[in-house]
Structure 1
Amino acid sequence: MNNLKGLLRIRIKRGVNLAVRDINTSDPYIVIRMGKQKAKTRIMERDLNPEWNEDLTIFVYDTKLPLKLEVFDHDFFSTDDKMGDAEFQLQPFLEGIKMNLKSVPSGTVITRIKPSKLNCLAEESCITWRDSAVVQDLCLRLRNVECGEVEIELHWIDVPGCNLV
């Protein structure tokens, strides 16, 4: 299986106050990268506060690689404009998955991650045991742009025969 650890489902919830790249709006979409893999959302036309609520799934082979998120403005007649980026480590999330939490009540917060210079968090991120799964909600402040945040949620999918440890 080529060292596959499992699958990461990333729910792209929404963008908040994204940058203007056309006359007074943008046509944003998001690209997620981890190593050589990439997945992308649909384009949201003329929307600076898009609600994607879209799930992207990537294979996780190397748990030390950061997850990178980039926002672009789709243009028909020229190269798409960059609208910022963010990246973060999966380690805290994966540590939560390794805990045996079957008997813990749904809604229990496992870990809180504070915003710092080492991450792109706009606010504290909670890793929670919810509905028999470890879930992490993140609000990422975009870098290399004048404004914008993206809200996402991480879910782990176990793959039979693969082991996270």
Structure 2
Amino acid sequence: MKRLTIIAMSLLLANSFWSCEKDDICPEGTPTTPNLVIEFYDAANPETLKPVTNLGVVASGFSTGFPYNGVSKITVPLKTNEDQTILQFIQNGSDTNPNNDNIDVLTFNYSRNDIYVSRACGYKTVFQLTEDPILTDDSSLWILSRFVTQPNIQNENETHIKIYF
């Protein structure tokens, strides 16, 4: 009797794997909701990429965010449930001294489109930037200019925004 139970359980387990469809599991590498790709440039020499040092990027309403150091290209997520994302770009924001932080606030406005990927993967959201990011004016801006280079955010293979500092 015990042997029959083990055989029955083995057949049941094997059958569950055989009945699994290929679209029951979202394959690794399947395109998902893309992040916004931003490149940083030297304002004095606009063709030259310029690495950012101790940059912190924090979404409005959050106390922690993404630290970047020594890179000229970053990716940041946009909100998939709203048509606007507000991000603080904090110069010296990823170091340990909050007294030297210089915060510039950028507002990204866009439209969203949810695209069905598959039963296993669900939907992904793609974005269409509707204007250059809005820079909130303050007395000590470190971002000197910015503009959209690719308004269609469908993947992370190209730069969407250039920032000059």
TM-score range, shorter chain: 0.3 to 0.5
TM-score (norm 2): 0.40
- Bigger relative CO (Cα 8 Å, ≥ 6 apart): 1
Q: Highest Rg: 1 or 2?
A: 2
TM-score (norm 1): 0.40
